[in-house]
Amino acid sequence: MKRFLRDNGLSVAFGVLFLGTLIAQAFVGLADFNAGQIAHHGDPISLWRYVRSSEFGVDVLENWQSEYLQFSLFIFGTVWLLQRGSPESKELDKAGRESDSDQKLRDHADPDSPKWAKVGGLRTWLFSNSLLLVMGAIWVASWLGQSITGHVAYNAERFDHQQAAVSLSQYLGSPDFWNRTLQNWQSEFLAVGSMAVLSIYLRQRGSPESKPVGAPHGATGVEG
């Protein structure tokens, strides 16, 4: 058990943090929702009803989609885009998809390389892009989920104000949908951009997200 935790500390710690904060969000989200109900002379709802509601769904999914978009774009963009001095960037002469030799593909694979890196064809192409494909698919799925739950929550609010419902396609062009989307996107892009730049000049001893403390500011593609 101790060894398992040591070998998987990062995923276990963030898994626990995710579940803890999701549960906390459910409780405070319910309190916020019920405060709104009372303010409008409505009736409070139960926790079980709230976690099945579109209001909770859209609040969760609008953040999920932006996080997966952020990492998908980062994975994709860093194939070609470089940043001199940043540990988030490859070395300056390695822009692009790199050679089979660099990537240990097909005849250049090591004996312990994954099978799909060796076999060639569609399987090697799929495996070569699998991280981006899966992260991108989760982004699309969670953005779709945001649009569906957001549509329901938006129309519920419109009915509360005796307004007609809008269709899903109308909702996808609405300020509500794009405000929820863009407010999350801008914060993700800011965080990634500032991380890429700040890590040129700043260090965190022991972290692979930083260069070694003594590395020069101009050193690129070096992780500590």
Partner 1 sequence: MNRWALLLGLCVALAGCGRGEDEIVASSVAHRFLTSVSNDNGDVACSLLSRETAAALAHDEREPCEETVRGLELNAPSAERVQVFGLSAKVDLADGLSVFLELTPEGWRVSAAGCEPVAGDQPYECEVEA
- Residue 27's H or E segment, with its range, is helix 9-39
List all residues 6 or more positions away from 33 whose beta carbon is below 8 Å from its beta carbon. Answer: 45, 50, 53, 55, 56
- Smaller CB distance to partner 1: residue 53 or 66? 53
Minimum CB distance to partner 1, residue 147 (Å): 14
Minimum CB distance to partner 1, residue 21 (Å): 19
- Smaller CB distance to partner 1: residue 90 or 151? 151
Tell me how far apart the alpha carbons of residues 223 and 212 are, in angstroms, rounded to a whole number. Answer: 7
Identify the burial level of 146 via C-beta atoms within 10 angstroms of its C-beta, where 0-12 means exposed, 13-18 middle and 19 or more buried: buried
- Smaller CB distance to partner 1: residue 83 or 155? 155
Minimum CB distance to partner 1, residue 137 (Å): 18
- Smaller CB distance to partner 1: residue 78 or 174? 174
Contact residues: partner 1, CB under 8 A? 40-43, 45, 52-55, 152-153, 155-165
- Smaller CB distance to partner 1: residue 89 or 149? 149
Minimum CB distance to partner 1, residue 155 (Å): 4
Contact 210, 199 (CB under 8 A): yes
Tell me how far apart the alpha carbons of residues 82 and 98 are, in angstroms, rounded to a whole number. Answer: 14
Minimum CB distance to partner 1, residue 15 (Å): 20
Tell me how far apart the alpha carbons of residues 27 and 105 are, in angstroms, rounded to a whole number. Answer: 49
